[in-house]
């Protein structure tokens, strides 16, 4: 469906042309003086020099051709030559009726749907999810949903970290603790037990213990490095342990992501890239890209004009073990082979930008991807505590994601019980739904690349630019609609009519931008644009609500039109939060 602004620009262009000027001058923008008008056109100013004419005169010439336009109620030329515009009330109502009937709510579906793989989440198996993984999950999930809404084929891949040193560390620690386990018996050739020799709780204790020890004990560290390499070469006992670790961790991760309303299409891992590594490395050698440097195999990725030092991309360590770069490169090979994507988007901590710069350059240089395949890095900033330092527990440790979520939920529970008097029965469920909105909106409202302060008090507030405020607005709409039906009202045959007051018109105008906002958010991979939009729309709704009697409206047609607008507002807000990755309860 055509955008409201397109209708306006068309009218303006046609008027410029009729008046004898370049139609390209007929651009329209949202007014920067909302007290004076809704939209404006500055084309006359731009044309003054070219036509050697005062802008005011050009504007007057143009305005003369807009007098009968139904798109505008007001066309006013002001000094030095702006054209101030207000949308036609009938036209706007008609536009919203069209929007109401459009499943895309004015967004234009992708002309050429693309296959896009989003690499997000990125947890490491056997390590608990911590807040650092939160941002990746939240941002990636939202971009995936926005892309899908616009008609792209978007695949979310969790890309588990399961092939690096942490696995060697766990194996080594286990061997020290329980050397008699059959997994460590090299002469064993039977089946390995089905049951894992550890629980998820134990696993989460083993890793930090091993990691701490490896920092002090060099021999231990070397053992872990060797174990890593042996795992990568498929040593049966280690593969069996790896299988246990994977099964247990993945089950636990799935539970956690479910709680976050985050869903992956692909549960692939670094290890899935292993089968592609030997051929890839061989080819890079054969084609002269890879060479040995102090025993390691590397590819140069420096480019002319580099303003910073880009070290060579390391393919294999001197012991033959693969690295983070190697699995990332081989994963690209796998993705090209299995999905032939137009784009691979990585939503990862921005501190990894050098790694991705190296990987992308290496992939391009060695021809792993087609020239027009986009490799994109969306690096996000750090989630900080109120002290401005990376978010920690009160004791100063790494905050586990589960605990963070529980903290928010109990905070939300208190607020809901205190403020709203929801029956205890559903307060717990409601606290979960609203708590998730607090976390996700609190994150997504920031431009992804920026650091932000995770402030539980602010994020859980029902007022201000928060998730709970948005949900509260939706709940308010739902409850008005409920009362309407309780009073015998029907949704049959309602029609959106011209605004009856200024806040009403303002709400109508605000709704019209949904489609453009979603398109921009996707093009710029910027869910925060949707947050800014729904905050504005929610504010517009609440002003309208305070200034307008809705259910008390005498005129049935007008009342019906207000109800129809409420339904559309609800649809816009609910679709928006769906794109952000959370939902609204029925009451709060």
Give me the residues that bind ligand ARG (CB under 6 A), please.
119, 122, 124, 159, 161, 328, 346, 348
**Residue 403 Cβ vs ligand ARG, minimum distance, rounded to whole Å:** 19
* Comparison of 165 and 431: residue with beta carbon closer to ligand ARG: 165
* Comparison of 159 and 478: residue with beta carbon closer to ligand ARG: 159
Residues 6+ apart with CB under 8 A from 540: 503, 506, 507, 510
3-class DSSP assignment, residue 554: coil
**Residue 352 Cβ vs ligand ARG, minimum distance, rounded to whole Å:** 7
Query: Do 265 and 310 touch, CB atoms closer than 8 A?
Result: no
Pairing of strands 72-78, 29-30: unpaired
CA–CA gap between residue 226 and residue 356 (Å, rounded): 26
* Comparison of 264 and 346: residue with beta carbon closer to ligand ARG: 346
**Residue 223 Cβ vs ligand ARG, minimum distance, rounded to whole Å:** 23
CA–CA gap between residue 360 and residue 439 (Å, rounded): 32
* Comparison of 161 and 168: residue with beta carbon closer to ligand ARG: 161
H or E element that contains 153? strand 153-157
**Residue 382 Cβ vs ligand ARG, minimum distance, rounded to whole Å:** 13
* Comparison of 505 and 525: residue with beta carbon closer to ligand ARG: 525
Of residues 233, 216, 27, 256, the one with CA closest to residue 123: 256
**Residue 161 Cβ vs ligand ARG, minimum distance, rounded to whole Å:** 3
**Residue 127 Cβ vs ligand ARG, minimum distance, rounded to whole Å:** 8
CA–CA gap between residue 290 and residue 281 (Å, rounded): 8
* Comparison of 41 and 269: residue with beta carbon closer to ligand ARG: 269
* Comparison of 224 and 348: residue with beta carbon closer to ligand ARG: 348
H runs (alpha helix) in 217-323? 218-232, 236-259, 277-286
Instruction: Please give the structure tokens belonging to residue 498.
Output: 């011209």
**Residue 374 Cβ vs ligand ARG, minimum distance, rounded to whole Å:** 15
- Output the CA–CA distances (angstroms, integers) from residue 105 to 89, 163, 373, in the order listed: 19, 44, 30
Q: Is 106 exposed, middle or buried (0-12, 13-18, 19+ CB in 10 A)?
A: buried
CA–CA gap between residue 481 and residue 230 (Å, rounded): 64
Query: Which residue has the CB atom at the shortest distance from ligand ARG?
Result: 122
């Amino acid at each position: 469906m055509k955008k409201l602004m397109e209708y306006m620009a068309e009218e303006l262009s046609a008027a410029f042309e009729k008046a004898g000027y370049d139609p390209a001058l007929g651009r329209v923008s949202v007014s920067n003086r909302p007290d004076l008008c809704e939209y404006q056109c500055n084309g006359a100013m731009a044309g003054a020099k070219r036509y050697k004419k005062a802008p005011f005169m050009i504007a007057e010439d143009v305005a003369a051709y807009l007098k009968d336009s139904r798109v505008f109620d007001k066309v006013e030329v002001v000094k030095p030559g702006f054209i101030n515009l207000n949308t036609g009330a009938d036209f706007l109502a008609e536009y919203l009726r069209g929007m109401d009937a459009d499943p895309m709510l004015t967004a234009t579906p992708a002309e050429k749907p693309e296959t896009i793989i989003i690499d997000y989440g990125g947890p490491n198996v056997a390590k608990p999810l911590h807040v650092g993984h939160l941002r990746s999950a939240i941002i990636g999930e939202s971009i995936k949903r926005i892309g899908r809404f616009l008609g792209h084929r978007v695949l979310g891949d969790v890309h588990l970290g399961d092939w690096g040193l942490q696995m060697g560390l766990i194996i080594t620690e286990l061997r020290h603790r329980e050397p008699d386990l059959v997994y460590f018996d090299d002469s064993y050739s039977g089946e390995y037990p089905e049951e894992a020799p550890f629980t998820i709780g134990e696993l989460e204790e083993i890793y930090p213990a091993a990691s701490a020890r490896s920092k002090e004990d060099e021999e231990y560290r070397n053992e872990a490095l060797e174990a890593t390499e042996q795992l990568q070469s498929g040593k049966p006992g280690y593969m069996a342990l790896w299988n246990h670790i994977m099964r247990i961790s993945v089950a636990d991760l799935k539970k956690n992501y479910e709680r976050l309303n985050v869903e992956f299409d692909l549960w692939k891992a670094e290890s899935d890239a292993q089968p592609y590594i030997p051929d890839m490395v061989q080819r890079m050698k054969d084609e002269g890209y890879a060479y040995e440097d102090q025993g390691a195999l590397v590819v140069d990725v420096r480019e002319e004009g580099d303003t910073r030092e880009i070290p060579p991309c390391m393919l294999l360590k001197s012991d033959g073990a693969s690295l983070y770069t190697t699995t990332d490169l081989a994963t690209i090979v796998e993705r090209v082979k299995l999905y032939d994507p137009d784009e691979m988007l990585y939503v990862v901590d921005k501190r990894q930008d050098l790694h991705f710069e190296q990987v992308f350059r290496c992939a391009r240089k060695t021809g792993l991807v087609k020239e027009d395949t986009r490799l994109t890095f969306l690096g996000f900033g750090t989630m900080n505590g109120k002290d401005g330092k990376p978010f920690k527990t009160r004791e100063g440790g790494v905050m586990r994601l589960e605990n963070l979520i529980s903290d928010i939920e109990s905070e939300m529970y208190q607020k809901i019980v205190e403020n709203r008097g929801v029956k205890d029965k559903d307060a717990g469920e409601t606290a979960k739904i609203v708590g998730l909105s607090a976390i996700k909106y609190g994150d997504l409202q920031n431009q992804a690349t920026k650091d932000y302060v995770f402030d539980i008090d602010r994020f859980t507030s029902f007022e201000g630019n928060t998730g709970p405020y948005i949900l509260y607005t939706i709940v308010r709409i739902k409850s008005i609609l409920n009362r309407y039906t309780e009073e015998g009202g029907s949704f049959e045959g309602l029609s959106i009519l011209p605004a009856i007051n200024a806040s009403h018109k303002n709400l109508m105008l605000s709704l019209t931008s949904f489609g453009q906002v979603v398109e921009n958010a996707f093009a710029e991979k910027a869910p925060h644009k949707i947050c800014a939009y729904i905050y504005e729309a929610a504010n517009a709704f609440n002003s309208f609500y305070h200034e307008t009697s809705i259910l008390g409206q005498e005129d049935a047609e007008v009342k019906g039109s207000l109800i129809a607008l409420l339904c559309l507002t609800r649809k816009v807000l609910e679709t928006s939060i769906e794109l952000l990755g959370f939902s609204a309860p029925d009451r709060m």
